[in-house]
Structure 1
């Protein structure tokens, strides 16, 4: 059976001029507040993203490396930018794929994230190929080992082990009432990485809450840093478990906002290096694809 892979990501504008269209796509027809758009443009500009976006280059490098590792065609599909998930699925079908493995570059399941990728993928294939969709992989041993090694690398630079804060993108708190497993899966990954890395002192915080006017999952990383400083913690290591590349949420929310807050509090703040297109991470992704292609997934 001919197999192809659709590697999915949230999407990111290629250049500064694309930000308004990108943000409108995220809003999905809902009104765009000018002040929110201006703030987003300012963040990209301050990070030096004018004519090209390093995140898109990382995604392409990951795609190309995964294709080489698997010996199978791999197509990138974005939820909120080009190329779309439908474009990637169409290219897989045009190449004769009878089976398509869908893999999102986000390790933890939520009805507000992974399920929406799946829905777009199902619609795009429209029954023309068998879909093997990877729902979750936050507890994958290879992924856990990779993050644990990144933590240990930072620990080796310190005389005393820093307090580790695991982070992930927040989502509206209403998902808990709906039985969504997102928070539990994040905490499980955090526990596994901490155990594997020998971390004794750790906590978890969310980040990157959007201004929607409804409650979001907490605690948020900024007030959490305040709380840590109040308990005489002085060294903090951030370990994002919900991100696998240098997204805006990493480069701005952690490397700028959290770093600024840490300086105000007198904290020494460090962060692990994200997997990005590291060969070890690509091998983790390849293992997920191979297992999905060999065994049908429920649902």
Structure 2
């Protein structure tokens, strides 16, 4: 007999239409409304990448692909999908409530972020758990999956594909910039958070398994809080790498993200490319995992570790 359990896939969320931008931004700022200038800056960024982020549609496709892959991988368990978002409807709490209404008493949770930090994955899981506790739903949480062989294989293949576009004799003048979303340094230190080490481990695995010679680690998309965040920022890193080593080719792999969205399409494809253009060097950014079977397979393999 097949048992039905919940699959709660959690992600950051993004505005669905322009009128969503202000309430979405206000939620990110813990209820504090952005100034007109701050709001306009965000609207301009969305406009630059085509009006709105493709994140909403990609999140749905990733979640559905994961559900389908899990249902193929398990014989006696049927996974029923629920999507919960951090900053816009359907919120995480709404998804857990829907589970309860459907009679689900057991579920696996996955955040669409490969590395664990208490600030990101930990906060999603806490919100989900607090809501689940009201209904007695038992959760198994996936903490991370960056270390899964299929995840590393995905990025290794993308790096090697990109290297084929660069003359072989210039591979020694090429650098891989491995990055993730920056977080406040104080929070990382206070919680003894594994996040920076997990990014470092990712960079090591990619250096070992791909054909790249030079690797650097950076951070991107830091918030404007007036407090120190993890660095160096990828733009500053690009300049310092060029000044120190004179690299001609820069390959950016924002491995802390799992699809094309604002942080990648603007912070990498625009801001980092501007720096590369100013320096007269070549900018490369392989495609993101999205619904690639290797990426989805990496999460399936991690789910098998917890359930």
Provide TM-score, normalisation by structure 1.
0.93
1:186 is matched with: 199
Query: Is the 2:121–2:143 Cα contact (8 Å) retained in structure 1?
Result: yes
Residue pairs, 1:29-48, within 5 angstroms: 29-48=31-50
Which residue of 1 is the match for residue 59 of structure 2?
Answer: 59
Superposition deviation, residue 106 in structure 1: 0.6
Q: Name the counterpart of 1:227.
A: 240
> C-alpha distance in 2, partners of 1:93/1:228?
52
CA distance in 2, matches of 1:87, 1:266: 49
Q: CA shift at 1:62, angstroms?
A: 1.0
- Could you say which residue in structure 2 is the equivalent of 1:211? 224
Q: Secondary structure at 2:40's aligned position in 1?
A: helix
Structure 2 gaps, min length 5: 72-78
- RMSD over aligned CA atoms reads 1.5
- Pairs within 5 Å for 1:151-166: 151-159=159-167, 160-161=170-171, 162-166=174-178
- The alpha-carbon distance between structure 1 residues 280 and 260, as it changes in their structure 2 partners (threshold 3 A), is same
Q: Distance in 2 between matches of 1:26 and 1:124?
A: 20
CA distance, structure 2, for counterparts of residue 34 and residue 191 of structure 1: 43
Aligned mates of 2:69, 2:189 — CA distance in 1: 41
Quick check: 2:22–2:34 contact (8 Å CA) kept in 1? no
Shift of 1:291: 2.7
Q: State the TM-score, normalizing by the size of structure 2.
A: 0.91
Residues 265-289 of structure 1, C-alpha deviation per residue, up to 9 Å, x if partnerless? 1110101210011222222222222
1:169 corresponds to which residue? 181
For the Cα contact (< 8 Å) 1:8–1:103, is it kept in 2?
yes
List gaps (5 residues or longer) in structure 1. 294-299
1:50-77 CA deviation, whole Å, 9 max, x = no partner?
A: 5xx4211111111111222222212111
**Aligned pairs, number:** 291
Distance (Å, rounded) in 1 between the aligned partners of 2:216 and 2:46? 29
| Contact residue 5 and residue 92 of structure 1 kept, 8 A | no
CA-to-partner distance for each residue in 1:152-210, whole Å, 9 max, x for gaps? 11111211322101011101111343211111111111111221113220101101011
1:93/1:290 Cα in 2 relative to 1: closer, same or farther (>3 Å)?
farther
Instruction: Give the Cα separation in 2 of the matches to 1:227 and 1:291.
Output: 41
- CA distance in structure 2 between the aligned counterparts of 1:140 and 1:172, rounded to whole angstroms: 26
Cα shift readout 1:71-93 (whole Å, capped 9, x = no counterpart): 22121110111211112222223
Task: Show the counterpart of 1:260.
Answer: 274
